[in-house]
Each structure stands twice: as structure tokens, then as C-alpha cells.
Amino acid sequence: MVLRIRRDDGPDILTFTEAGGLARSGLNSAGIGLTANALECDRDYRRGPGVPLPFIRRKVLESAFLAHAVRTIFATSKLGSNHMAVSHASLHGGGEAFGFECAPDETFWLAPERGLYVHANHWICEAARAKVRDTGLAETPCSIYRDRRVHEQLSPHRGRLTLDHFREALFDDYASPWSVCRPPRPNNRGTMVATTAMILMRPGAGHLEACPMPALNRHFTTYNLTPDRTAQRQAAE
């Protein structure tokens, strides 16, 4: 589901999340964007108390400043591993983006490579790989080529990337059903898994597009942090 959250004590939020969730991927009216994907390591759920990930993601999207979002990720102990990418589009032009590979008790950060950053479901930071054991690749071995394929499709368009470039790259079905755009299939634990949604965002414009089950459907619904006032008037009439 998509939540549009109006706040009196900070930036408004637009987020795609599971029903009942506080936040997952999304953006806010301060130009901050957040995406997250799963990681696993040998420290997960073993090292005492920690904060559930949806609370951390929500706190990031409540941030009025990029520095506050980064501090939330670094300062909060977590129950399990996760990767979060945080971006910021300045109202005065330009922007920044960083990736954060989070173990329960330690966070490793990554910067874009020549303006491009891609991450799948395995640890890539050299410091992280030296310190934690990746326990997720046994379940998602396709991760080691999924990020490379997206990176290779986006690289030629550096400096002029559009949402359509991302759309095309993320629909990649190489080696399906072990593909970037994954159709429903049982995983090694017997649970049905799939790419449940493709989310495209422009945080500075408050623009979010969502396509549920993209391996089976290519219809996007567009959501805006500031609703179309014309549409609102027509609905009122």
C-alpha cells in the first residue's frame, strides 16, 4: 500500500509499505528518498535488543535534513541486517546519495561510483565483507549478477538518466525466474517469493510510481506528495 502522511512536526511523507507497516521505500517533502533491501549475516537476531527496521525507515523519512537521516541509521541498533539507500535532492539544485549496509551492531557506508549506485541482496562494502559472514547468498545466489546487470544497463546513460532508463533496467528478466524482475516461485524454504513491486521515485519532485508484481504486470500508478488540486476540486464537485 502507499501512504501519504501529513505531518505538523516535520516533512510530509509518501511511502510504499506492507499493510500495517510504518514505512519501507519512500520520500518526503524535504527531498529525502529512501529505498531498502534485505541482507543477512551471522550476527542477525543474536546480539540483544534492537529496533525493528520499519521504525528506523520511518524515522529516516521523518528527517528534515540528510544529516539527520544518516545519524538515525548509524546511531540505532538493529534486530537484523538490512541495506538502506538514502538520497537527497536539494531545492537549490544538485543532490547526494549514499548506501548503508547495516549489521545489527555496525553500519558500513558506500558512495555512488561516478554518480551511479546499485545494490542487490548481498554485502559489497569491502570492510563489511571482511567482518561479517554473508548468510543470505545461499538463499539468493542470483544477487551476485542482478546488481551487475542493472549497473551495466544504466552506466551508458550516466548524467542523463530518466525514470524510463531505470524502468527498462529493472524489468530485466535474464535467467528468469532467478532474475532482476522475479516472477512468483518457491524459494529454498518453500515460501513463495516474487518481485512484489517496482518503485520509481523523484524525491525532489515528490513523485512516486508503483507497479505491483512487475513480472506479471506493467501498469504503473503515479502518486504525488502534493495531490493535483484540479483533481481534488473535480472530486469535490
β-bridge partners, 84: 36, 100
| Residue 232 clears pLDDT 60, i.e. is over it | no
Q: List CB contacts of 29: < 8 A, sequence separation 6 or more.
A: 11, 12, 13, 206, 225
DSSP 77: -
The rounded distance, in Å, linking the Cα atoms of 120 and 146 is 7
**Mean pLDDT in residue range 33-41:** 96
Whether domain 2-135+196-236 has CATH 3.60.60.10: the reply is yes
Note whether 197 and 16 are within 8 A (CB). Answer: yes
The rounded distance, in Å, linking the Cα atoms of 160 and 157 is 6
Note whether 118 and 98 are within 8 A (CB). Answer: no
Measured at the CA of 41, the angle between CA 1 and CA 142, to 5 degrees, comes to: 65
| Residue 235 clears pLDDT 80, i.e. is over it | no
Q: List CB contacts of 84: < 8 A, sequence separation 6 or more.
A: 34, 35, 36, 56, 57, 60, 73, 99, 100, 102
So what's the pLDDT on residue 230?
A: 40
| Residue 228 clears pLDDT 80, i.e. is over it | no
pTM of the predicted model, to two decimals? 0.91
Model confidence pLDDT, tens digit, residues 179-217: 999 999 998 888 899 999 999 999 999 999 999 999 999
**What are the residue boundaries of the structural domains of the chain, listed by start?**
2-135+196-236
| Residue 92 clears pLDDT 80, i.e. is over it | no
Percent share of the chain, pLDDT over 70 = 95
β-bridge partners, 230: none
Model confidence pLDDT, tens digit, residues 212-225: 999 999 999 999 99
Model confidence pLDDT, tens digit, residues 106-145: 999 999 999 999 999 999 999 999 999 999 999 999 999 9
